[in-house]
Chain A
Amino acid sequence: MLTQTTQGSLKQPTLQLLRGLRTKSKNSRVATVSAATQRIITGLSVLSGRKKYPRILKLSNEDLIRHDTIQAAWAQYQRDIRTDRQSVLDKQYDSIINAMEDLKITNMELFKIANKKEKGKRFPLDARIPVDFPPNKVWHYEVKAPAEKK
């Protein structure tokens, strides 16, 4: 460990031996952690490393293969969901590109407006989601606001 004074000087740094060096200040005899924490730390340090981890499950050969089969099925199931979702997204992306290409050919001005960068502008969360057609049931007449509590 190097002494503070030699830092930044061109002199050969003097080495101070670590043995016998005080690691805590004289007046702070109390532990820096609470007593309860200290108890846990002591308890854990007494235990061997192996006992700190839960025991490894010991499966028989048959059960290990059964376990692997379940894992494989689950992975396959998740993969199927992922590929389905991705294919839908791909189709949607392609149709956006196609629509934009059409717009580019038919009306360049509209295309430019559609692709104008609006920095910081976000789609408002409470706005109704734009759809291609109006709903079949335009207004829900029977819905009433819940009675307020008195």
Chain B
Amino acid sequence: MLRSNIISQCRRLLSTGTTKTWASKTTAPSLKASTHYRDALLDGIPSTGPPSLRSRKYKQRYSSPEGINEAFDVAYDFLKSKSEAAYAKAAEAKDPQEKAQLETQAELHNPEVNFNFAYNEKLENDTQYIDYELPVYRELKKKHWENYGQMLTMQRLETLAAIPDTLPTLEPKAEISLKFQNHTGVNRWVEAGKKLSSNATTFPPSVKIQEFDALDLTKGKYTILIVNPDVPDIENNTYKTQIAWGLSNLSITYNDNFINPAKLLKDEGKYNEIISYLPPVPEKNLPAQRFVTWVFRQGEQSLDIQLQKRDFDIRQFVEDFKLEAIGAHIWRSEWDLNVREVRELYGLPQGTVFAKVKGTRRLR
């Protein structure tokens, strides 16, 4: 036992690279950990310390738990045999859903895949590390999203009453992330429900639609609608819904799914702008306005409608064109000192200053 341990230790020290390879059937780069970490991940932490630690002091001080190397070798071989069996089943599977499920199963416990997913940026879609074309990464991301992002978005949509003020309900199927990618905004993902400065929202947002299901994305098209249900309707002493921006016939892939100015410029002529972007210009002394981004699967149909008026009945629209809501996002806007500049930039008339209402109760 001792001798075999020493031999394996020696082999570990002498070897220039790991001999372990998973049963993967594709050569996607994201199925391998980067060379900097790979040997330490598969063969154990070298005597120089874990490569993931930066400081030399902590590298020297670090020691792995006892017996982890032996246990890992056994576990790796065991899981690899399971993976081979799953790949063999997947090769025979006819149904694409079932095939994706088996391929997920085959790679789910691959330590390199788990390492890549855990320690890399999950929203940037860098196929070197995380490739959402592979069903296993979609599954991992879905779990990750369901644990926090999905719950947060749904909570914000419900507490801010975007549901049911815009659409009756939502069964989230895709992760929607939003960012104002321009010179005025901070280049950061917007947390659902956040109040944004009107300066940041001067130009249209960029929306990321991350699909998780095994779909034929070459055929399916997508629609994005941004509605504001808090526009004051003075004649009727109430609020009404207006559309702030609408895009349709958008096509995405699992990795190329960030609808930003660059992508829109590239896809010029392929998509349809339902109505041009009207930035949030809230009136003074009114409560914060909600801007709800809804994303729909429109199927294979083409939606070539163009609206002239901003007043909008989103429920009717969704029913008319048989859109399937898959995700939503929300931000809020309040009057601030930048509103005047935004109005001037878009040639909008001056806003109304409402009487100040003391207290936090909303106007009814």
Chain A residues in 8 Å Cβ range of B119: 61
How far is A73 from B115 in the complex, measured between Cα atoms in Å? 16
The reply to whether B118 and A61 contact each other, CB–CB distance below 8 Å, is: yes
Interface residue from B37, B65, B114 paired with A59 (Cβ < 8 Å)? B65
Q: With A66-B41, A69-B75, A69-B111 in contact, is A61–B68 under 8 Å at CB?
A: no
Asked if A57 meets B65 with Cβ closer than 8 Å, knowing A62-B37, A66-B111, the reply is: yes
Name the B residues within 8 Å of A68 (CB-CB). Answer: 111, 114
Contact of B41 among A57, A65, A72 (CB under 8 A): A65
Chain A CB within 10 Å, residue with most, of B62, B64, B75: B75
How many whole Å from B64's CB to the nearest CB in chain A? Answer: 5
Q: Once the chains are docked, how many angstroms separate the CA of A64 from the CA of B64?
A: 10
Question: Which of B53, B62, B74, B78 gathers the greatest number of chain A CB atoms within 10 Å?
Answer: B78
B321 surroundings in chain A (CB, below 8 A): none
Q: Which residues of A contact B51 (CB under 8 A)?
A: 62
Q: Are A72 and B118 in contact, with the CB atoms below 8 A?
A: no
Q: How far is B49's CA from A60's CA once the two chains are assembled, in angstroms?
A: 9
- Chain B: CB-nearest residue to A61: B52
Checking B50, B76, B109 against A63 with a beta-carbon cut-off of 8 angstroms, the contacting residue is: B50
Q: Between A and B, how many residue pairs show CB distances below 8 Å?
A: 68
**Are B64 and A63 closer than 8 Å at their CB atoms?**
yes
Say what secondary structure dominates the interface of chain B: helix
| Identity of the chain B residue whose Cβ is nearest the Cβ of A75 in the assembled complex | B109
Report chain B residues within 8 Å CB of A74.
Answer: 75
B35-85 with Cβ < 8 A to chain A? 37, 40-41, 44-45, 50-53, 62, 64-65, 68, 71-72, 74-76, 78-79, 82
Chain B residues positioned under 8 Å from A64 (CB to CB): 118
List A residues 51-102 near B (Cβ within 8 Å): 57, 59-70, 72-74, 76-77
CB-nearest residue of chain B to A66: B72
Determine if A60 and B75 form an interchain contact, defined as CB atoms under 8 angstroms apart: no
Q: Which of A63, A72, A76, A77 contacts B68 (CB under 8 A)?
A: A63
**The one of A61, A63, A70 that contacts B75, using a Cβ cutoff of 8 Å:** A70
Contact at B79–A72, with CB atoms within 8 Å?
A: yes
Tell me how many residues of B have a C-beta within 8 Å of chain A. Answer: 27
> Inside 8 A of A72's CB, which chain B residues have their CB?
75, 79, 109
Bound-state Cα–Cα, A76 to B75, Å = 10
B52 touches A62 (CB 8 A): yes
> Across the interface, which residues of B come within 8 angstroms of A57, CB to CB?
65
The interface residues of chain A lying within 8 Å CB-to-CB of B111 are 65-66, 68-69
**CA gap between A77 and B78 in the complex, in Å:** 9
Residue in B62, B78, B82, B109 whose CB lies within 8 Å of A60:
B62
Q: Are the C-beta atoms of A60 and B50 separated by less than 8 Å?
A: yes
A73 vs B76: C-alpha distance when bound (angstroms): 8
Q: Which residues of A contact B114 (CB under 8 A)?
A: 65, 68-69
Q: Which residues of B contact A62 (CB under 8 A)?
A: 37, 40-41, 45, 50-52, 115
Name A73's contact: one of B37, B41, B68, B75 (CB within 8 Å).
B75
A binding-site residues for B, Cβ under 8 Å? 57, 59-70, 72-74, 76-77
Q: What are 29 pairs between A and B in contact, CB < 8 Å?
A: A57-B65, A60-B45, A61-B37, A61-B50, A61-B119, A62-B37, A62-B40, A62-B41, A62-B45, A62-B51, A63-B45, A63-B68, A65-B115, A66-B41, A66-B44, A66-B68, A66-B72, A68-B111, A68-B114, A69-B75, A69-B76, A70-B68, A70-B75, A72-B75, A73-B75, A73-B109, A76-B79, A76-B82, A76-B109
